[in-house]
Amino acid sequence: MSCAAPIGGVALEGVDAGNQAVIQGTVTRDGQPLRGAYARLVNASDDFVGEVATGDEGTFRFFAADGDWKVRVLASQGFTGEYPVTAQVGKVIDIQVQA
């Protein structure tokens, strides 16, 4: 599986949403962080908005506008999961994905 998203990952602890809506999460497999999974942000019309790859900690983060979104996670071994979320300025939505 190859996408153009750079592998990065982010530290999830201590994030302050402030005046932004934050959607973030961790992808794990067998209790361990999964590097190289892809998280895609999709709007309510099912349009692709952005993509990030998880780093060593299995983490991802998006900054979004208020409203309804979906996070699609793609990982090795054919895993695909979809997680509907409602983003709100000043709040952090945290998604835990077991791939």
Domain range list for the chain = 21-98
pLDDT tens digit sequence for 19-70: 889 999 999 999 999 999 999 999 999 999 999 999 999 999 999 999 999 9
What number does CATH give the domain 21-98?
2.60.40.1120
Q: In which band, very low, low, confident or very high, does the pLDDT at 12 lie, cut at 50, 70 and 90?
A: low
Measured at the alpha carbon of residue 65, what is the angle toward residues 64 and 71, in degrees to the nearest 5? 45
27: β partners: 97
User: Rounded CA gap, 66 and 23, in Å?
Assistant: 11
**Strand arrangement, sheet containing 67-75:** 48-53, 38-43, 67-75, 79-87
**Is this structure's pTM higher than 0.85?**
no
